[in-house]
Every structure is written in structure tokens, then in C-alpha cells.
Copies of this chain bind each other. A is one copy, B any other.
């Protein structure tokens, strides 16, 4: 099926969007995606860049939906949707990932199968084009759940993966972002702490500024419900600009960045990873459904309030076994969208657009 371009390229008016989260009367299937949460504001985004984001989000939704529509598995839909975003330079995952302090892209990803509670995660890989695919390989073709660094790449080699050079992931925007982060860090080291990032220098385009602002964010993720009623979740990221010391955020931490359980929900998170680990975001949302019978939107809002109380920000997408959707965040915006049988399609970016 083809998504009408109008839906892909512009935000739908709020009136066209299903706001109720009651149990649908017929079996539904579909997926929810995010492309990162952060300081995403309408007045700081060029029309062209915004259109690119909306088109790529729509493309990712279509790729995942096509799998589900033909009777495919939620896991396959998650992979298909995330791959579009990993392959796009717009998001901080795969191509276009942020640079670490050494000017290298280091990628993390995790996936979970809600039907079996199987999970796979990789952290700190540098030469795998589609990290979420490798996380799935760990889940399905190893006795392990989590592999890190060179070891994970050796596993990939043993499974016949082709490697890309680290340069494949590099983009000029992310390099400018790293340089700015280092400059700010140097000033902070010199005692001028809390110096805001200077975004006024000549020679920096508006679109570059957009990427420079987003130091911690831009993770991508997907949650899906297939026609058999199975849930799956996957998340992929380059982590945090200028990260040091093999820093790993919430993305490869099962229960923090990713969780799926047919009995409750599937969750993929994006935001300031340290706070999302400390609040066990993805599992905390599921636990509220399991132990307190909360609905998915109430649960997501409660967990994000915990994150905010700790001092963190970001967002989540969550999908329960009945197809109810939450796309919630406490940052200014979050790239997001969903596509379900029998529902209006939503592609959204800003804070005043739909969250469920």
C-alpha cells in the first residue's frame, strides 16, 4: 500500500487524529515509530528540513506497515521501519549517528520479542551498517542477550555480516555538532561553566544549527503489533555527541530503552539515556500495566514524570496488546508517527501535535 504524500509531508490536523485509547472493537495491527526527542521547535526548523523528516518518518511507517499488512511478524516490521531511519542521515542511528569524543561513530541497539520475551542488544559497535539487525542476530542466533564492542563485531563476522567503514556513518552536520560540543566543553573546563552553546557564529547554516542543538538525542525506535497479536520493540542509536570512555546510554539496556511483552505492551524510549536507565523507563511502563492495571498513556506519563523529577528529559513510544498508542515526551518535540489498520495515519514532530 502507498501512503498519500499529503499525509506524509504535513502534520495532520488534531481533529483528524484518533485521541481515544479505548480497546478497538476489531483486531487491529500496526506500528509506532520515533526518530528521537529533543529541543525540536517549529520556529527553528526550516520548511525543507521539516519536510524531509516527515517524508522519512512516513517512509519508515510504510516499510513496517507493509510487513504487517501482508501478515508478517511484528519483529520484521520493527526491523523494516528502523532500517529506513538507520539508513537516513537525518537521525542519530546508523548513517548520521553522532560522533564520540574521538570522532568515531559507536552504535548501540536492542530488540525484544514480546511473544517469547527473548531479547538482543549490542553496544559500542563501529562497523555494522544496521545495528538493530545485529541485535536481532544476537537474540536469535546466540545464547546471549548482550554483546559489546569488538566482541559483538566478531560475532557479526561469524554470522557472515559485511562490515562498513566507520566513515560510512559520518555526516558534516554531526561533525559540526561534535566541534561545538568540544568548544563548549573547553570553555566549561576554563571555569566559565554553564556557558550556553554559541549558535550565532557565521558560516553555520540553519539546518546545521538544528543538529548542533541536539547533543543527546535522535535515537530511533519502533514498536509493532502484528495480526497474530504479537508485540515487538526495537531501538537504535549513536548515543550522545562527544561521549567518552565507552559511554553507553539506555538504548542497549533491556528494560530501559526497549521492552516488549505480549501480556502488557511494547516500548521504545529516546532521551537523556542516563536518566532513562535510572528510571528503568521501558519496564516501568510495562510494570504499571502488569501490577497496577494502568492504561498505557497513564503509565507512560507517570514514568516520564519520574524521569523529569530526576532531571532528565526525552520521550517514549508505547503500544499495548489492544493497539492503544502512547507517544509521550517531556522535551519540546519528538519525531514520531503511527500507522494502523483502520486508523488515521499520524506523522508528527512538535509538542502541539498528537501524542497518542
Contacts and interface: CB of A to CB of B under 8 A. Distances in A.
Interface of A: 112, 117-119, 123-124, 142-152, 154-155, 158, 243-249, 253-256, 259, 273-274, 277-280, 283-284, 287-288, 290-292, 310
A280 to B, nearest CB: 4
A289 to B, nearest CB: 9
Given A244-B155, A254-B253, A287-B283, A117 B278 contact: yes
B247 A278 contact: no
A247 B144 contact: yes
Task: Describe A's contact surface by its main secondary structure.
Answer: mixed
Contacts of A124: 148-149, 151
Contacts of A273: 145
In this complex, the member of A118, A148, A254 whose beta carbon has the largest number of chain B beta carbons within 10 angstroms is A148
Copies in the complex: 2
Contacts of A255: 253, 255-256, 277, 280, 283
A103 to B, nearest CB: 14
Nearest to A156: B245
B274 A145 contact: yes
Contact of A147 (B145, B248, B292): B248
A276 to B, nearest CB: 9
A284 B255 CA distance: 10
Given A253-B253, A259-B280, A277-B254, A310 B117 contact: yes
A287 B291 contact: yes
